[in-house]
Chains A and B, each alone.
Chain A
């Protein structure tokens, strides 16, 4: 990098000369001027820059030079279709989330993945007024172990815990809106989710554990 640039010639040569210099003839730092333009502050000129032809010329030159960068940065980039699904499929394989409800009929077996049960429960809970977010999971830990023992007779080779036979235990974590009566919202969730799982999946025994773990204001995110 050379010393100060004096009276820069116009056009390409000017830009090249500017980018090879540390300072302008007025002493202004070239890096700071380029930073000013690149950060979108090229028009915010201080008292010196309002009077200085060197700074004004450099700012103008850098604005032209940098504009394609600003333009490219503004081009929207959409993620490829299916990226989210591909990620989640892989994660479900990692956590071996392949438990099923199972019903054996005279013409074959019906299996419904536990994550479908959890998703239906979650979506059903989200319909309840006052629920801001609902997350469903197949049961784990103590309750799941109890369920497993209780339904051992219906044990499916792929069923580990949670949803077995026509019995399901679903955990829901929910955040509700501030000022809604929490216990009423929670009971509404239990009633609604139980009815949904019975009607849509045909589960006979449904336990819905609701954990209200956040209360949010109207403008909270």
Chain B
């Protein structure tokens, strides 16, 4: 028999969750590979600290495994994981230390911009990071989930256990607060 290329897993999260619930650990490993970047990214933006974000992402992915039997069929694994990550991040920041804004920015080479322009842009982006971390946690969550992760109001509501009008209302307040802080930096 002619061997084919090793196939990339070509199945959805629901299939993998079901198999993981049956004890196929490598099904869960594929889920971790798929979603670890999201878990870390959200945790980093909510905590503002690389070490805390790493802890939160790791704890959340393990907690998801431990509670897999409680995962409801038909719901979205990523929505569920967003919930766990945001709760863990809240626990972390509520007992944590002050965050450093610089750690929110990975090193990304920008060869197109002149050094002065680049520095100015980094300052502006630093300002966003600081402004984000200065928001009350619930407002930070809706900004991160909607504007950074691209979740719809309905999805943010599902993650936060809220309603779409409440999410929209939180976003109105959060945008104004963020805008006022950014305006001071200009």
A binds B: yes
What residues of chain A have their CB less than 8 Å away from a CB belonging to chain B? 12, 15-16, 19, 31, 34-35, 38, 62, 65-69, 71-73, 75-80, 83-84, 86-88, 90-92, 94-95, 97, 115, 118-119, 122-123, 126-129, 131-137, 140, 171, 173, 175, 188, 192, 213-214, 216, 220-221
Which secondary structure dominates chain B's binding surface?
Answer: helix
* Interface size band for B: 35 or more
Residues A78 and B57 in contact, CB atoms below 8 Å apart: no
Which of B33, B50, B61, B179 sits near A80, CB closer than 8 Å? B50
Residues A79 and B57 in contact, CB atoms below 8 Å apart: yes
What residues of chain B have their CB less than 8 Å away from a CB belonging to chain A? 1-4, 6-7, 9-12, 15, 19, 22-29, 32-33, 36-37, 39-41, 44-45, 50, 54, 57-58, 61-62, 65-66, 104-106, 108, 121, 124-125, 127-129, 147-148, 171-172, 175-176, 178-180, 182-183, 186
Which secondary structure dominates chain A's binding surface?
Answer: helix
Residues A129 and B1 in contact, CB atoms below 8 Å apart: yes
Which of B6, B128, B179 sits near A72, CB closer than 8 Å? B128
Residues A80 and B186 in contact, CB atoms below 8 Å apart: no
A106 to B40 Cα, complex, angstroms: 48
Which of A69, A79, A122, A171 sits near B182, CB closer than 8 Å? A69
How many Å from the CB of A113 to the closest CB on chain B?
12
CB-CB < 8 A to B171: which residues of A? Answer: 35
CB-CB < 8 A to A16: which residues of B? Answer: 180, 183
